[in-house]
Amino acid sequence: MSKKKLPLEARLRTAIASELAKINKSSYPYLWEQTQTKAGYAKVEAQVIEMMIRTGAGPAACILTLESDNDK
């Protein structure tokens, strides 16, 4: 199935998953730790979606902002 034929929600989740797959423990310690469990991943995914809707930013920018906002 072509990406364009996937429902919007599936395309959005795929784009977020692709960006989250790029994070690592040294560069994104907070988000890396959060995404190690199903519940944590779901929470981060929801935060990214909410931020995308609120700001109009893409997944990568939202992920960077979430890490920066939660920097320990």
Q: Domain locations in the chain?
A: 10-69
State mean pLDDT over 46-66: 97
Residue 5 confidence (pLDDT) above 90: no
At residue 3, the pLDDT reads 54
Share of the chain above pLDDT 90, in %: 86
At residue 1, the pLDDT reads 47
Question: Please, which pLDDT band fits residue 71 given cuts at 50, 70 and 90?
Answer: confident
What's the predicted TM-score (pTM) here? 0.86
Backbone angles phi, psi at 47, to 5 degrees: -65, -40
- Classify residue 7 as left (phi > 0), alpha (psi -120 to 50) or beta: beta
State mean pLDDT over 62-67: 96
Decide if 32 contacts 72 (C-beta within 8 A).
Answer: no
